């Protein structure tokens, strides 16, 4: 990539996004967009930013964003070694413990305003990011976070784990009454979080559980939908074909098949394989990636669309930044693993599109959403805040994939 060493999978090219040095420099720019402006001296992180970095809704705190920004700072600290970035990890972890966490019930409030609970619902998806934040903090040298990892495991085990199905339930009230909804998204991000927990602690139960979730979702559950992972299920983990159909407002539970989630599963299978090589994982990752990009790529305007139906027909043609970012990471990992030009070509195509359409040339952050013809969207209506978590995660994964052998 830099002309001096040969990366695994993606060979040297003039494409700047193939250069680890370029990506490290860009990651530094992206971190600088958030740091230090996201640090609220009263506690936690500001989460709602316009593209120029100005803050709106300064009182609101969403659990997912609170955890994701802590993870972002762990990515930053890994690259920079900066004491400021390490202190910012602690700043976020302290807020998760003091504000979001209910010490009496062990739950985590979904939404806060001015430090007061607005929505006390317990979401397994939220706990997945709490687990990820604690694991990344432990990796960054915070020894107390190791205890928080175990604590979160116990909460998940007691409140959401369903051993009969080998998967996690999704939502519970503040007093832990489960809803009938079951979803793949929480299980996918728990797989990610457990891989991180294993890397932070070396404890095998985390890797074993991540592997079990991956097997059940990309094999057993995907068999119910022609080999792809459907989003929504009933209490017996049978496909719910109608849940949220026609409602495009729920960003955590969209209807249909999400190409971004097929691609994320592909990436997770390859991350699992690093620790526990199984040939089927790489093969299945390739299947999921190829199906998703072939169905989701907009051949007229470029970019990967947000969703398609069970027959492969476009359902939501908008372009989301996180889908492009995850596709870049998965393509890089697949190229590293297989050395096939197919994945190199897809990496180049998606990276070129993303830098042209999504990366703000002035401020460095990514636009969240583009219309089908790549025009800007109103991004202030999204209640979960702006974090660029997927972008930072993808850049970190790609840099590792491009490292010389």
Q: Show me where the domains of the chain are located.
A: 279-404
Rounded distance, CA 405 to CA 401, Å? Answer: 10
Name the token pair of 209: 């559980």
Contacts of 213 (CB under 8 A, 6+ apart): 166, 167, 168, 187, 188, 190, 191, 194
Beta bridge partners of 39: 45
Tell me the three-class secondary structure of 164-195, residue by residue: CCCEECCEECCCCCECCCEEHHHHHHHHHHHH
Looking at residue 403, what is its pLDDT?
75
What is the widest separation between alpha-carbon atoms in the chain? 58
Tell me if residue 389 falls in helix, strand or coil: helix
Q: Which CATH number fits domain 279-404: 1.50.10.20, 3.20.20.70, 3.50.50.100, 3.30.70.330?
A: 1.50.10.20
Contact at 8 Å (CB) between 68 and 75? no
Looking at residue 384, what is its pLDDT?
53
Name the token pair of 28: 């530094």
Per-residue pLDDT of the chain (405 residues; tens, 9 = 90+): 333 233 334 444 558 999 999 999 999 999 999 999 999 999 999 999 988 889 999 999 999 999 999 999 999 999 999 999 999 999 999 999 999 999 999 999 999 999 999 999 999 999 999 999 999 999 999 999 999 999 999 999 999 999 999 999 999 999 999 999 999 999 999 999 999 999 999 999 999 999 999 999 999 999 999 999 999 999 999 999 999 998 887 888 999 999 999 999 999 999 999 999 999 999 999 999 999 999 999 999 999 999 999 999 999 999 999 999 999 999 999 999 999 999 999 999 999 999 999 999 888 899 999 999 999 886 654 545 679 999 999 999 999 998 753
Name the token pair of 235: 């209490």
Looking at residue 51, what is its pLDDT?
81
The pTM for the full model equals 0.95
Catalytically active residues, by annotation: 261, 390
- The number of helix segments (H) and strand segments (E) in the chain equals 12, 12
């Amino acid at each position: 990539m830099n002309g001096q060493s040969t990366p695994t999978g993606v060979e040297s090219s003039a494409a700047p996004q193939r250069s680890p040095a370029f990506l490290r420099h860009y990651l530094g720019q992206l971190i600088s967009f958030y740091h230090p402006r996201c640090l609220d001296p009263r506690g936690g992180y500001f989460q709602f930013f316009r593209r120029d970095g100005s803050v709106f809704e300064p009182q609101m705190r969403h659990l997912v964003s609170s955890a994701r920004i802590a993870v972002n700072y762990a990515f930053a600290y890994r690259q920079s070694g900066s004491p400021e970035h390490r202190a910012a990890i602690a700043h976020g972890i302290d807020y998760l413990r003091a504000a979001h966490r209910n010490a009496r019930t062990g739950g985590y409030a979904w939404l806060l305003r001015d430090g007061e609970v607005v929505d006390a619902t317990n979401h397994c998806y939220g706990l997945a990011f709490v687990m990820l934040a604690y694991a990344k903090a432990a990796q960054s040298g915070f020894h107390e976070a190791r205890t928080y990892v175990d604590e979160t495991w116990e909460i998940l085990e007691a409140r959401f784990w369903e051993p009969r199905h080998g998967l996690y339930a999704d939502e519970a009230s503040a007093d832990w009454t489960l809803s009938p909804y079951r979803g793949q998204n929480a299980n996918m991000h728990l797989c990610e979080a457990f891989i991180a927990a294993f890397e932070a602690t070396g404890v095998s139960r985390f890797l074993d559980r991540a592997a079990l979730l991956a097997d059940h979702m990309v094999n057993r559950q995907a068999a119910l939908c022609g080999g792809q992972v459907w989003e929504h299920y009933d209490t017996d983990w049978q496909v719910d074909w109608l849940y949220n159909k026609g409602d495009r407002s729920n960003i955590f539970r969209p209807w249909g098949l999400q190409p971004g989630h097929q691609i994320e599963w592909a990436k997770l299978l390859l991350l699992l394989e690093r620790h526990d090589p199984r040939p089927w994982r790489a093969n299945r990752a390739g299947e999921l990636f190829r199906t998703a990009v072939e169905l989701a790529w907009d051949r007229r305007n470029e970019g990967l669309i947000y969703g398609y139906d069970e027959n492969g027909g476009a359902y939501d043609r908008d372009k989301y930044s996180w889908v492009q970012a995850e596709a870049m990471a998965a393509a890089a990992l697949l190229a590293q693993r297989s050395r096939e030009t197919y994945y190199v070509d897809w990496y180049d195509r998606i990276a070129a599109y993303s830098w042209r359409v999504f990366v703000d040339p002035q401020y460095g952050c990514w636009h969240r959403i583009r219309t089908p013809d790549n025009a800007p969207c109103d991004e202030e209506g999204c209640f979960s805040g702006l974090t660029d978590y997927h972008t930072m995660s993808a850049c970190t994964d790609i840099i590792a994939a491009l490292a010389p052998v």
